[in-house]
């Protein structure tokens, strides 16, 4: 309550004491020179002291105007304050289209420098590519992607593998082939199955992986019980026969459809052509 004692306090404390004093006194608050001098002593520079002096002698409405009186048009995009307003275009710069071309050219130069000076340094991290062994990663998943559009077939996933790469015994491999049914091709020892019952490809991939794990687990359970059951090859034989018959299709032209051509039937009248 004694503004004459505010001088010499840490920075910002005089302003806090002033606000508390105004709040406590309310309508009984009266402005004094000691209070103003304490606030001016708390300011860092002359501009801030002048601002405090103007606000202190102004009305209460001036306080609200001073808090929101900010000219945002004088700020650049990066937040830097401009002392002067932006000048009008005087045709002393490139147009917008030309500036876009220059910007793209600078970007291209940037990547050219990276390719010339930084990419060669990656040669020390070069390693030869060693393809994984089929016995270590026997399963292959095939996905279908339609670039630029959504298609219902994108959710379909196809699983492929060769039974010989599963490291099963002869009895276990035979039972696995029996369980696979028409999804196994004995000609190339390939097992294939697909799924599109879920909306996302990842879900179908997980489903196929779980089914394959169940097949392998079941194939390893008492495989000797099915050792005398022969492998069903009818679907592969029927597929091959269908392909052969498809390639051997020979359609004969019916004899009654043939029209005999007599000599002179295909004469051309030049006069008719000239009229047309």
The CATH number of the domain holding residue 193 is 3.30.160.20
Residue in the structure block whose two tokens are 């900010």: 70
Q: Concatenated DSSP letters for 80-145?
A: PBPSSPPPPP-S-S--HHHHHHHHHHHHHHHHHHIIIIIGGGGGGG-----PPPTTTS--EEEE--
CB 40 within 8 A of CB 8: no
Choose the final residue of a domain: 13, 38, 62.
Answer: 62
Walking along the chain (276 residues) 10 residues at a time, the average pLDDT comes out as 68 70 68 69 59 57 47 46 63 85 95 93 92 92 92 94 94 94 93 95 96 95 90 89 73 81 66 53
Q: Provide the 10 A C-beta neighbour count for residue 73.
A: 8
What tokens were used for 74?
């004088």
Pairwise CA distance, residues 175 & 121, whole Å: 54
Q: Which domain holds residue 34?
A: 3-62
In a domain, 195, yes or no: yes
Q: Is residue 253 part of a domain?
A: no
Domain boundary among 16, 44, 62: 62
Give me the residue label for tokens 């710069």. Answer: 93
pLDDT of residue 69: 45
Residue 224 belongs to some domain of the structure: yes
What residue spans of the chain are helical by DSSP H? 13-25, 33-42, 46-57, 60-68, 96-113, 170-180, 201-219, 234-247, 270-275
In a domain, 124, yes or no: no
**Distance in angstroms (rounded) separating the CA atoms of residues 109 and 124:** 25
pLDDT of residue 46: 53
240 lies in the same domain as 146 = yes
Number of domains within the chain: 2
**With a threshold of 0.85, does the pTM exceed it?**
no
Query: How much is the pLDDT for 239?
Result: 86
Residue 196 belongs to a domain: yes
The whole-number pLDDT of residue 77 equals 46
- pLDDT confidence of residue 71: 46
Domain membership of residue 157 (yes or no) is yes
* Cα dihedral sign, 170-173-177-179: positive
Task: Determine contact, residues 39/56, Cβ cutoff 8 Å.
Answer: yes
Q: Are residues 145 and 56 in the same domain?
A: no
- Domain final residue, candidates 31, 62, 93: 62
Is 68 part of any domain? no
What's the pLDDT at 242?
81
Q: Is residue 106 part of a domain?
A: no
Q: What angle do CA 117, 121, 124 make, to 5 degrees?
A: 165
């Amino acid at each position: 309550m004694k503004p004459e004692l505010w001088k010499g306090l840490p920075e910002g404390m005089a302003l806090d004491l002033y606000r508390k004093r105004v709040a406590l006194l309310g309508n009984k608050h009266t402005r004094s020179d000691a209070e103003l001098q304490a606030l001016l002593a708390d300011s860092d520079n002359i501009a801030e002291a002048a601002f405090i002096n103007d606000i202190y002698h102004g009305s209460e409405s001036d306080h609200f105007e001073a808090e929101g009186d900010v000219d945002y048009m004088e700020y650049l995009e990066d937040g830097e304050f401009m002392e002067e307003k932006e000048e009008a275009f005087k045709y002393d710069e490139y147009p917008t289209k030309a500036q876009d071309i220059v910007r793209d050219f600078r970007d291209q130069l940037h990547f050219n420098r990276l390719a010339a000076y930084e990419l060669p340094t990656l040669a020390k991290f070069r390693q030869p590519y060693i393809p994984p062994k089929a016995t270590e990663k026997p399963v292959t998943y095939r996905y279908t992607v339609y670039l630029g559009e959504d298609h219902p077939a994108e959710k379909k996933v196809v699983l492929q593998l060769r039974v010989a790469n599963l490291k099963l015994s002869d009895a276990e491999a035979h039972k696995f082939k029996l369980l696979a049914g028409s999804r196994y091709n004995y000609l190339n020892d390939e097992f294939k199955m697909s799924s599109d019952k879920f909306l996302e490809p990842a879900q179908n991939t997980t489903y196929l992986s779980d089914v394959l794990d169940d097949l392998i687990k079941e194939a390893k359970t008492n495989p000797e019980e099915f050792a005398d059951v022969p492998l069903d090859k009818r679907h592969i034989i029927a597929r091959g026969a269908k392909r052969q018959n498809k390639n051997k299709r020979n359609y004969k032209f019916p004899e009654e459809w043939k029209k005999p051509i007599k000599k002179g039937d295909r004469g051309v009248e030049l006069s008719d052509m000239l009229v047309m």
